[in-house]
Copies of this chain bind each other. A is one copy, B any other.
Amino acid sequence: MAEHPPSPIPAEGRRRVVVSNVSPELDGGRFAIKRTVDETVAVEADILADGHDQLAAVLLYRGEGDEAWSEAAMAPLGNDRWRGWFRVTRLGMCRYTVRAWVDHFRSWQRDLGTKHQAGQDLTVDLLAGAQMVEAAARRAGEGGATQLAAWAEVLAGRAPAPWETRLELALSAPLADMMGRHPDRGLATTYDKELRVVVDPPLARFGAWYELFPRSLGQGGRHGTFKDVEAHLPRIAAMGFDVLYFPPIHPIGRAFRKGKNNNPACLPGEPGSPWGIGSAEGGHKTIHPELGTLEDFRQLVRRARAMRIEIALDIAFQCAPDHPYVKEHPEWFRKRPDGSIQYAENPPKRYQDIYPFDFETEAWEGLWRELKSVFEFWIEQGVTVFRVDNPHTKAFAFWEWCLAELKRARPELIFLAEAFTRPKVMYRLAKLGFTQSYNYFPWRNTKHELTEYFTELTRSDPREFLRPNLWPNTPDILTQYLQYGGRPAFMVRLVLAATLGASYGIYGPAFELCLNQAREPGSEEYLDSEKYEIKTWDLETPGNLADLVQRVNRIRRDNPALQDNGGLRFHAVDNEQLIAYTKSTADRTNIILVVANLDPHHVQRGWLELPLDDFDVPDAGSCQMHDLLTDARYLWQGGRHYVELDPRFSPAHVFRLRQRVRTEQDFDYYL
Residues of A within 8 A of B (CB): 1-2, 4-5, 7-10, 13-16, 18, 20-21, 27-30, 46, 48-52, 79-80, 102, 110-111, 114-115, 117-118, 120, 123-124, 127-128, 130-131, 187, 336-338, 340, 345-348, 350, 359-362, 364-365, 368-369, 376, 379-380, 392-398, 401, 405, 408-410, 422-425, 428
Q: Is the CB of B13 within 8 A of A114?
A: no
Query: Which of A13, A364, A428 has the most chain B CB within a 10 Å cutoff?
Result: A13
A37 to B455, CA, bound (A): 43
Q: Is the CB of A394 within 8 A of B124?
A: no
Q: Is the CB of B18 within 8 A of A396?
A: yes
For the complex formed, measure the closest distance between the CB of A5 and the CB atoms of chain B, giving whole angstroms: 8
Q: Is the CB of A13 within 8 A of B393?
A: no
Q: Is the CB of A424 within 8 A of B80?
A: yes
A4 CB contact (under 8 Å) in B360, B368, B408, B424 = B408
Q: Is the CB of B115 within 8 A of A337?
A: no
15 contacts between A and B (CB under 8 A): A1-B376, A1-B379, A1-B410, A7-B369, A7-B401, A8-B401, A13-B401, A15-B397, A50-B393, A111-B345, A114-B348, A118-B348, A120-B348, A120-B350, A130-B337
A395 CB contact (under 8 Å) in B13, B336, B360 = B13
Give the residues in chain B near A359, CB-CB below 8 Å: 13-14, 16, 50
Query: Which of A337, A379, A423 has the most chain B CB within a 10 Å cutoff?
Result: A337
Give the residues in chain B near A338, CB-CB below 8 Å: 123-124, 127
Give the residues in chain B near A128, CB-CB below 8 Å: 336-337
Give the residues in chain B near A8, CB-CB below 8 Å: 401
Give the residues in chain B near A362, CB-CB below 8 Å: 14
Q: Is the CB of A16 within 8 A of B395?
A: yes
For the complex formed, measure the closest distance between the CB of A46 and the CB atoms of chain B, giving whole angstroms: 6
Give the residues in chain B near A408, CB-CB below 8 Å: 4-5
A291 to B425, CA, bound (A): 67
Q: Is the CB of B395 within 8 A of A79?
A: no
Q: Which residue on B lies nearest to A117, using beta carbons?
A: B348
Give the residues in chain B near A9, CB-CB below 8 Å: 365, 368, 401
For the complex formed, measure the closest distance between the CB of A34 and the CB atoms of chain B, giving whole angstroms: 18
A362 to B12, CA, bound (A): 10
Give the residues in chain B near A1, CB-CB below 8 Å: 376, 379-380, 409-410
Give the residues in chain B near A29, CB-CB below 8 Å: 28
For the complex formed, measure the closest distance between the CB of A627 and the CB atoms of chain B, giving whole angstroms: 41
Q: Is the CB of B80 within 8 A of A395?
A: no
Give the residues in chain B near A124, CB-CB below 8 Å: 336-338, 340
Given pairs A13-B364, A50-B393, A80-B425, 12 additional interface contacts (CB within 8 A): A1-B409, A7-B405, A9-B401, A14-B395, A16-B359, A16-B360, A20-B428, A28-B29, A52-B393, A110-B347, A114-B348, A131-B337
Q: Is the CB of A428 within 8 A of B18?
A: yes
Give the residues in chain B near A394, CB-CB below 8 Å: 50
A368 to B11, CA, bound (A): 13
Q: Is the CB of B16 within 8 A of A397?
A: yes
A409 CB contact (under 8 Å) in B2, B80, B396, B409 = B2
For the complex formed, measure the closest distance between the CB of A333 and the CB atoms of chain B, giving whole angstroms: 14
Q: Is the CB of B16 within 8 A of A27?
A: no
For the complex formed, measure the closest distance between the CB of A117 and the CB atoms of chain B, giving whole angstroms: 7
Q: Is the CB of B337 within 8 A of A127?
A: yes
A423 to B20, CA, bound (A): 14
Q: Is the CB of B347 within 8 A of A424?
A: no
For the complex formed, measure the closest distance between the CB of A614 and the CB atoms of chain B, giving whole angstroms: 28
For the complex formed, measure the closest distance between the CB of A372 and the CB atoms of chain B, giving whole angstroms: 8
Task: Please give me the 4 A-B residue pairs with the lowest Cβ-Cβ distance, nearest first.
Answer: A118-B348, A127-B337, A28-B28, A114-B347
Give the residues in chain B near A336, CB-CB below 8 Å: 124, 127-128
For the complex formed, measure the closest distance between the CB of A106 and the CB atoms of chain B, giving whole angstroms: 13
For the complex formed, measure the closest distance between the CB of A453 and the CB atoms of chain B, giving whole angstroms: 15
A89 to B48, CA, bound (A): 35
Q: Is the CB of A79 within 8 A of B20?
A: no
For the complex formed, measure the closest distance between the CB of A369 and the CB atoms of chain B, giving whole angstroms: 8
A117 to B16, CA, bound (A): 67
Give the residues in chain B near A423, CB-CB below 8 Å: 79
Q: Is the CB of B364 within 8 A of A401?
A: no
Give the residues in chain B near A13, CB-CB below 8 Å: 359, 364-365, 368, 395, 397-398, 401
Q: Which residue on B lies nearest to A20, using beta carbons?
A: B27
For the complex formed, measure the closest distance between the CB of A425 and the CB atoms of chain B, giving whole angstroms: 6
A340 to B15, CA, bound (A): 25
Give the residues in chain B near A123, CB-CB below 8 Å: 338
A48 with B401, Cβ < 8 A, contacts A118-B348, A187-B360, A365-B13 known: no
For the complex formed, measure the closest distance between the CB of A482 and the CB atoms of chain B, giving whole angstroms: 28
A13 to B402, CA, bound (A): 12
A596 to B658, CA, bound (A): 57
Give the residues in chain B near A364, CB-CB below 8 Å: 13-14
Q: Is the CB of A10 within 8 A of B401?
A: yes
For the complex formed, measure the closest distance between the CB of A29 and the CB atoms of chain B, giving whole angstroms: 8
Give the residues in chain B near A347, CB-CB below 8 Å: 110-111, 114-115, 118
A21 with B16, Cβ < 8 A, contacts A9-B401, A347-B115, A410-B1 known: no
Q: Is the CB of B48 within 8 A of A425?
A: yes
Q: Which residue on B lies nearest to A7, using beta carbons?
A: B405
A392 with B50, Cβ < 8 A, contacts A1-B410, A10-B397, A10-B401 known: yes
A424 CB contact (under 8 Å) in B14, B46, B111, B380 = B46
Q: Is the CB of A396 within 8 A of B46?
A: no
Q: Is the CB of B393 within 8 A of A51?
A: yes
Give the residues in chain B near A51, CB-CB below 8 Å: 392-393
Q: Is the CB of A395 within 8 A of B127?
A: no
Give the residues in chain B near A393, CB-CB below 8 Å: 50-52
A49 to B347, CA, bound (A): 18
Q: Which residue on B lies nearest to A428, using beta carbons?
A: B48
Q: Which residue on B lies nearest to A361, using beta carbons?
A: B14
A538 to B404, CA, bound (A): 77
A428 to B189, CA, bound (A): 16
